[in-house]
Structure formats: C-alpha cells, structure tokens
A and B are shown apart, each in its own frame.
Chain A
Amino acid sequence: MTASLPLSGYLRADGRKGIRNAILVVYLVECAHFVASKIVAGFDGEDVELVGFPGCYPNEYAAQMMAKLCTHPNVGGVLVVSLGCESFDKVRLADAVSASHRPVKTLVIQTAGGTSSTVQQGRDWVREVMAEVNAVERIPMGMDELIVGTICGGSDGTSGISGNPAAGKAFDLLVAQGAACIFEETGELIGCEEIMAERAVTPELGQLLRESVLKAERYYATLGYGSFAAGNAAGGLSSIEEKSLGAYVKSGDSQISGLIKPGDVPPTGGLYLMDVVPDGEVRFGFPNIADSAEIVEMIASGAHLTLFVTGRGSVVGSAISPVIKICANPDTYRSLREDMDINAGDIIEGVKTIDEVGQQIHDLIVAVANGAQTKSEALGHREFILTYKTFEPVGPSCLPRVG
C-alpha cells in the first residue's frame, strides 16, 4: 500500500512530513543579524538557513509566526541567536521548538562573549546536531499530506493569460488528489469578491470571503496605494482590478474549502484563501512589504513548497520551503531562463496549452517534493521577511469542514 505513495518525506513528531531537512539559524532582532549570518556562512553547500525578525519591540503575530516556522516539517533543528536585551520572547520560542522534539539551542551574544565567540559556539552546535538531523530517513508520503502555496509577483499583462491559469490547473490536479492548496492575497482580489464567494463550500464562508476582500480594499484605500507596483503598469496592467482578475485565476476551479490567516495550517485537503491583510485599524504600514513576506506566510501555514508566477521576472527563492518559479512572459523567460523553472510563455506563443503547462507544473511539484532542487534553490536563494502585523483568530465559519 505505502509502496504506491508518490512522495517521500521526513517524518516529524507531530505526524507531519517534510520535503526538506533544514537547520535554521534565527536572529531575534536586527542587532543579532550579522552574527547569525556569520554562523550560517560556515556551512556553504549544506542546508543551514538564516531567518529572523528585525524589530526590538514585541509583536504577537511575529512570535506566533516564528514558532510555526521553526516547527515547520521542512525544519530539522533550530539555533536561536539573541542579542540579549530585545523584546522577542526567546524562551517561549525555544520551548515551542523543544516541545516539537527538535534539537534547539539559544545563544545570547551579550553573555556568550561577543561576536567571534558566539559565531564559534553557534557553528560548533550546528556541526554537532547535523549528524542527528541528517539521520532522519525519508519515508513514503501521500499527496494528501502535501501543502502547496501560490503567489504571484512582478505581474504583467501576461500573468493572467498564461502563468496564473496554468498554476490554477496544477492546483485543480493537486486538490483532486487530496492535497491542500493555498492562494492569496486579498488585496489582489479586489473586483473578484462576488465570483469568488460563489465558489465557497457554504454561503457563510462565501460571505466571509467577500468581507475579507472588502477589508483589503479599505486597508489599501487608507494607505493610498493598491497592491500594485510601477512595473505592473509597464507590463500592460492598468488598474488593481485588472491585476486582480489575472491573479484570481491561479486559484483554479475547485470549490473553496476555507479562509485561513497566516500561520493557520489547513486542517484537510482542499483549496484555501489566505487573508493576509491585518485586522483592526491600519498599523505598521503595508500588509506585506514585498513578495518574500507573502511566501513566508504561506510557509508558516505549512506550505511545503510555493508556486510563484511572475511576468516581469522575479528571481527570489525562499528559506525553509522551495519556490517553483513559473514565468508567464515568453520574452522574460528568454532573458531570465536560469531563474525560471517553467516557461508558461509557451501558452502565449501557441506552443503549449494551459492544460499541458498545468500538468508540467504538477509533475515538477512531485519531483521537487521528492528532493529535486528548484532553480532558485540551486542558485542559493534563501530570502526571508517577517515584520509587524496584527490579526484576530479566524471564526468557526471560516473552516466549515472541521468539527
């Protein structure tokens, strides 16, 4: 029975399986960033990755996100690097990692003897636990244990015609096999709220989907800008609703099973919308300052890997979970092919159909889940952003299939 499972993963104590086995080095304030990066620099070519939080002031969202990220199934062990006087609760974080049965160690620069001494102690600890972390074997894993996120960035007028519909097709194939798929971002669904609400599994969920987009519209109106960069216009997009309609199709045609917020792990297979716009009055600025912050939110919600559809041409990858880059624009693909995993520009040029590229994306997801490196992984990209936000927990109507 298990021999027929299509994937393999690292079994964790909570029952989830990871497709990577990274050791994270986590700085808890910008003041510890350099020291943490020096520790990571000692492990070139090994899966030791830098993540962190820059602020000195406390934030419950950031605390919860970091705990979710450090106990993500793709993570095998965690080294926490603290300056010592920042407000981030390092004991709470280390306790969460320890409770997940992963090796964890906290170094405090102010009591560890400064930069050089902390770097040495950090590298020694990582080297020591690496054998233990690497001893975990891959075991068979089903498609129904897989979580895949999707975002789009550097969008242009091709994104909604080729890359996003093909990603949507791949999502349909995954959902049909029991996988959980997450799409975002409510600020880029403005104008799509009515057609999206009709796809919800219950009318109550449909209403919540509608309200999440209206919240995003209010939030961005206060900020004075939509979720729209100058390059979107150069690429032929003229308004936020035009960008939104193109982005919306990456959700595919499946029913929408639930509404989650960053850090909420989908409880079953199916298609989920992630509401990334903070609750309450506008605080701390833009919901997500760049694409990498959205990718990190997908990962905090358990995404094993993320599909990234781009038209203008983003080159980013991510810490923790691999990024598969789908290039919607054939001209961009030709100039950035070393960074792109899939050329959906073939659809624009009439070389391939949306279904064919959707299948190609699906097959690459299976290969990457089994250990194949994506382009950004092989190039060494490990981007990461976590900043200040505020969220209220989701209510029971957001996840109607639970309980």
Chain B
Amino acid sequence: MNGPFLLLNAADNVLVARSRVEHGTAVALDAGSVCVDRVIPLAHKIARQDIAEGSRILKYGMPIGLATEDIAAGQHVHIHNMRSAYTPTHALQDADGVSAGVSK
C-alpha cells in the first residue's frame, strides 16, 4: 500500500488511486516512469501498461470491460476509453470525478 496507486491483483492492467493524484505526478510503471496527464481522483484508474483497443480491462484479476481505443500506460482509464461487456454505463457531467455535479 505504498505510493499513490494500488495494484489489486498481479494480473491487472490498471492501477487504482488511493488518494487524489495531481496532474504531472510521476508514476513508476514496468515500462518506465510516466507522468499522469490530468488529475486522477481517489479510486479512479490508470493504465498499468499500454492497452490495445478491444482488449479486456482487468481489475481484481477479473475483466471489467473492453478498451474502446488504444490506451497508453499511465492514462486515465474510464468511460471515455472503455465500455461494459454487458449493459451501457449511465453517467452525467461529473463522471470524470473532477467536474462539478451542479451548475454554477
């Protein structure tokens, strides 16, 4: 449980933020060090390695959906670049975890 990201299972291709991670923070991955290119909120995911479009996203060692585009190591993995293999995911304007959920 060290560093800002958790690896939940050895088979996973995503890591989970254990607190809010600021834009530009360096993260050590197998492929080398990368800087996250946006804020990663608590409990959001980044790619542990490059993930090809159409391949499975693995968390807890289990598939949680499919990549809808090529995802580079260190990038935010969420509804903008992955989808459920079952039913569509319903989301609002605040789905990125950073935008406000109410209008100003």
State which of A161, A190, A221, A349 has its C-beta within 8 Å of the C-beta of B16.
A161
The residues of B that contact A156 with a CB separation of less than 8 Å are 43
Contacts A234-B92, A239-B84, A239-B86 known; A329 to B43 CB distance under 8 Å? yes
Query: Is the Cβ of B85 less than 8 Å from the Cβ of A234?
Result: no
Contacts A157-B16, A225-B87 known; A236 to B64 CB distance under 8 Å? no
By size class, the interface of chain B is 35 or more
Find the B residue at minimum CB distance from A156: B43
Contacts A157-B45, A235-B43 known; A220 to B87 CB distance under 8 Å? yes
Return B35 CB to nearest CB of chain A, in Å.
20
The residues of A that contact B39 with a CB separation of less than 8 Å are none
A167-175, A240-248, A255-263, A385-393 - the one binding chain B: A240-248
The residues of B that contact A158 with a CB separation of less than 8 Å are 42-43
Q: Which of B43, B65, B86, B91 has the most CB of A within 10 A?
A: B43
Contacts A161-B8, A161-B43, A235-B97 known; A221 to B87 CB distance under 8 Å? yes
Query: Is the Cβ of B79 less than 8 Å from the Cβ of A238?
Result: yes
The residues of B that contact A230 with a CB separation of less than 8 Å are 90-92, 94-95
Return A313 CB to nearest CB of chain B, in Å.
13
Query: Is the Cβ of A239 less than 8 Å from the Cβ of B82?
Result: yes
Count the A residues whose beta carbon is within 8 Å of the partner chain — how many?
Answer: 37
Contacts A191-B64, A236-B42, A242-B65 known; A228 to B86 CB distance under 8 Å? no
Q: Mark B56-68, 1 if CB is under 8 A from A, else 0.
A: 0101101111000
Complex-state Cα separation, A230 to B6, whole angstroms: 24
Contacts A158-B43, A236-B45 known; A241 to B86 CB distance under 8 Å? yes
Asked whether A63 is an interface residue with its Cβ less than 8 Å from the other chain, the reply is: no
Asked whether A217 is an interface residue with its Cβ less than 8 Å from the other chain, the reply is: yes
The residues of B that contact A231 with a CB separation of less than 8 Å are 94, 101
State which of A233, A235, A241, A349 has its C-beta within 8 Å of the C-beta of B64.
A241
The residues of A that contact B63 with a CB separation of less than 8 Å are 191, 241
Contacts A220-B87, A311-B43 known; A160 to B77 CB distance under 8 Å? no
Contacts A233-B91, A239-B89 known; A245 to B59 CB distance under 8 Å? yes
Find the A residue at minimum CB distance from B80: A238
Query: Is the Cβ of B77 less than 8 Å from the Cβ of A238?
Result: yes
Query: Is the Cβ of B82 less than 8 Å from the Cβ of A238?
Result: yes
Asked whether A229 is an interface residue with its Cβ less than 8 Å from the other chain, the reply is: yes
Contacts A161-B6, A233-B90 known; A329 to B42 CB distance under 8 Å? yes
Report which A residues bind B (CB closer than 8 A): 156-158, 160-161, 190-192, 195, 217, 220-221, 224-226, 228-231, 233-236, 238-242, 245-246, 311, 329-331, 348-350
- Pairs A-B, 9 closest by C-beta atoms: A157-B43, A239-B84, A242-B64, A226-B87, A233-B91, A236-B43, A236-B44, A239-B65, A230-B92
